[in-house]
Amino acid sequence: MGILDGAFICRSGDILNIDDGYYIIFDDFRNVTLNVKADLIFADPPFGIDFKGNLHTYNRKADALSYVEVSKDEYPRFIIDLVKWCYNNLKDNGSMWLVSGWNNLRWVLDAVEDVGFIQLNHVIWKYQFGVFTRRRFVTSHYHLLLLVKDERDYTFNKLEHYPEDVWVIKRKYQHGVETAGNELPDELVERCILTSSNKNDLVIDPVLGSGTTLKVCRRLGRRCIGIEINPSIKKRIVEKLNDL
């Protein structure tokens, strides 16, 4: 018996067991029932933009792996479902990192407040460049919200003496590698996981994408359950996990 056997029930999706303590469920997170609660949840959901019209805005390429987007009209309902699911599947002393672009940030902030999360920090991730624009400023940042249930009881490991809420972390682009849309750099995810969890803690990513969270958790000794709606991305996830 693995240490996470029986930890979840999914309605229709396939389950990929990477090794003991590391699972991927290919299903919509709304179809997954967990019998364990997370010490940390990391979520980088779709941003709810017109994908084709905004390829350059978020540095996505049209030839990326098929990407399951959420329409702008669907986004308010989607984000409240996601935040509520995360709140219900997080330990009372757990934490959550939630990534957002700027377009629908208002819906994200409303969902966080409506569900009952406490926002500890609003971190800005500044990367090294965006796409050239003629009549507006170049977009070269994301938002990361650090959320908890209990502001008196949560994990916070200071990684430096004077940690600030603006992070300058370079993006890495892999030429000739089929990617899953807009992949986050390992360094960014690693910083979140090291700050808000300890070894052997359980990290859950309900919108796993190409598997960066699971890859980083394996390297850092955290258990991980990833949930990804798009089964066609499995090949990319396995490639990334083999690149440890």
Q: What is the mean pLDDT of the chain?
A: 87
Per-residue pLDDT tens digits for 9-22 = 776 678 888 888 99
pLDDT value of position 57:
42
Rounded Cα distance between 185 and 31, Å, is 28
pLDDT value of position 113:
97
pLDDT band at 56 (very low <50, low <70, confident <90, very high): very low
Rounded Cα distance between 127 and 146, Å, is 19
Rounded Cα distance between 200 and 39, Å, is 10
Per-residue pLDDT tens digits for 22-42 = 999 999 999 999 999 999 999
pLDDT value of position 1:
45
pLDDT value of position 58:
43
Per-residue pLDDT tens digits for 131-152 = 778 898 988 999 999 999 999 9
pLDDT band at 60 (very low <50, low <70, confident <90, very high): very low
Q: How many CB atoms lie within 10 A of CB 204?
A: 31
The pair phi, psi for residue 142, each rounded to 5°, is -125, 165
Structure tokens at 63: 């030839």
Domain residue spans in the chain? 1-36+222-231, 41-201
Radius of gyration of the chain (CA): 17
pLDDT value of position 2:
60
CATH 3.40.50.150 fits 41-201, yes or no: yes
Please state which of the ranges 46-60, 83-97, 153-167, 191-205 shows the lowest mean pLDDT.
46-60
pLDDT value of position 172:
74
pLDDT value of position 8:
72
pLDDT value of position 182:
67
pLDDT value of position 67:
55
Q: Does 6 or 17 have the greater pLDDT score? A: 17
113 with 60: CB under 8 angstroms? Answer: no
In this prediction, residues 60-79 reach a mean pLDDT of: 73
Residue found by looking up tokens 């240490």 in the block: 3
Is pLDDT at 59 greater than 60 in this prediction? no
pTM above 0.95, yes or no: no
227 with 27: CB under 8 angstroms? Answer: yes
